[in-house]
Structure 1
Amino acid sequence: MEFLAMIDWSVVIQIIIIDLLLGGDNAVVIALACRNLHPNQRKKGIIYGTAGAIILRVILVAFAVTLLQIPFLKLVGGALLLWIGYKLMVQHDEEEHNLDAPDKLFAAIKTIIVADIVMSLDNVLAIAGAAGQVDDASHQIGYVVFGLIVSVPIIIAGSKVVLFLIDRFPLIVTAGAGLLGWIAGGMMVTDPAIVKQFGEGMAGYSTIAGITGAVAVMAFGELMKRRAKSKSKAA
């Protein structure tokens, strides 16, 4: 009880709220990455992927400010996110859904972790800012970990809801890929190298860049899916 009394709950609540508000993106990625797994492997994919992403996010928080100042990091991360969105969109459900191979599970977990790291580049700064309210620097990471652990069950539950909806409404896959494109576009125009070259005003183009990224991923992904279907019919 003494330990609970010593905790600054206002900071914990702030971290939980930030993580949940930003966790919607993560729930979509987790669901997209796991949708083609065998039903017996989906739960493992969600849990292991989320756990790996959370651990790496804690590490990112410790270096948040430094990471965000590295030139071209956001550009590379944004490009990677565009690729992930495209790959998740064009995966062939019919071919992969019934495969129970371990490599498919590992691939899903890897996708979740990589996408979460990229999307967390901006997000961790908000979490680090909330934790920074704690006077004792040695306790700041502890607050981050505690807040993330509390929010994990809700992110996992959100992933399961999205998976349930994807099974019934496949169009959500396209929308999810578009979401990743949106995030990628916004990230790329706020990269320190871009801002240095074109000025601080580049941040004002983040919405346009986000729309461009979303449309590009969805359009290109849909084009490649139709081309693949045409080839399979011709064969």
Structure 2
Amino acid sequence: MIELINSPGFWLAVMQIIAIDILLGGDNAVVIALACRKLPKAQRNRAIIGGALGAILLRIAMIFFALQLLELPYLKLIGAVLLIWIGIKLIVPEGEDAHDNLAPSPKLLGAIKTIIVADAVMSLDNVVAVAGASNGQLELVIFGIVISIPIIIWGSKLVLHFMDQYPIVITLGAALLGWIAGSMAITDISLPAVPAWAHYAAGAVGVALVLTIGKFMVSWNEAAGDRSETERSE
């Protein structure tokens, strides 16, 4: 374990996991706020901590199974496709009513349950991304999540504000997911062994796919919105 911690690759993977958790954790921070909004102020911190602890344990279990699945043929290729789609969704903004169907609970245990369940449903993208970045090392996953969860909970407003102020952060995050997708796809056990440079080439292809398709979809949505405005004004 000590040799692993002293490895530069370990810390690079940890930084990737933290970046993924922060970038994809914005929605989770919103869920926590919505789930707790009907609680008395004195109970909100307990709900946040209880829900976060439950979400951490559940997410680690999900990632453990994801790591096992990624050892099966073709599943890394499928995971890479999912990661590319997640990166594209990160670039394309969601509708304002994305969380309107989340019902807050006026009771502490109800709010904790809501946080855990909602986090499990919404963290599928996070699980796939972290599994791809971890290179199959569960201890690395646990380390990265333990570090990033407090950042998401207590620093979510700051992170979200920073992402709003500097949209390039979103684009860089999407590019990171594309890089992980390409690098993961080429290591699928159904494919023959490739030279080291091929991993960088595959990562670059993943980045190009995410950014090109994402920017195209943004332009398409903006054009569609302009057409709708024109039709309504006529």
Q: Which amino acid aligns with 1:72?
A: Y
* Match status 1:115 vs 2:110: no
**Residues 121, 191 of structure 1: alpha-carbon distance in 2 compared, 3 angstrom cutoff:** same
**How far apart, in 2, do the equivalents of 1:214 and 1:220 lie?**
10
Give a deviation string over 1:38-90, Cα, whole Å, max 9, x none: 9943989x9868854652324544784x5443111111111011111112221
What is the aligned-residue identity percentage?
A: 28
Q: Which amino acid aligns with 1:84?
A: I
Residue 123 of structure 2: SS of its match in structure 1? helix
* Other-structure match for 1:164: 161
**Residues 145, 20 of structure 1: alpha-carbon distance in 2 compared, 3 angstrom cutoff:** closer
Of 7, 17, 23 in structure 1, the residue corresponding to residue 18 of structure 2 is 23
RMSD: 4.3
* Other-structure match for 1:102: 102
**Residues 176, 147 of structure 1: alpha-carbon distance in 2 compared, 3 angstrom cutoff:** closer
Cα distance, 1:191 vs structure 2: 0.6
Residue 87 of structure 1: SS of its match in structure 2? helix
Residue 125 of structure 1: SS of its match in structure 2? coil
Question: Does the 8 Å contact 2:20/2:130 carry over to 1?
Answer: no
**Residues 171, 224 of structure 1: alpha-carbon distance in 2 compared, 3 angstrom cutoff:** same
* Other-structure match for 2:107: none
Which structure is higher in helix share?
1
**How far apart, in 2, do the equivalents of 1:231 and 1:54 lie?**
42
Give the gaps of 5 or more residues in structure 2. 38-47, 104-113, 229-234
* Other-structure match for 1:191: 188
Cα distance, 1:119 vs structure 2: 2.4
* Match status 1:125 vs 2:136: yes
* Match status 1:210 vs 2:209: no
Q: Which runs of 4+ in 1 moved over 6 A?
A: 16-19, 105-108, 144-147
- TM-score normalised to the size of structure 1? 0.64
Give a deviation string over 1:113-155, Cα, whole Å, max 9, x none: 2122212335163345x8xxxxxxxxxxxxx979955663245
Q: Which amino acid aligns with 1:57?
A: I
Question: Does the 8 Å contact 2:88/2:213 carry over to 1?
Answer: yes
- TM-score normalised to the size of structure 2? 0.64
Q: Which amino acid aligns with 1:117?
A: V
Larger displacement relative to structure 2 (67-76 or 155-164): 155-164
**How far apart, in 2, do the equivalents of 1:89 and 1:175 lie?**
10
Give aligned pairs, total: 200
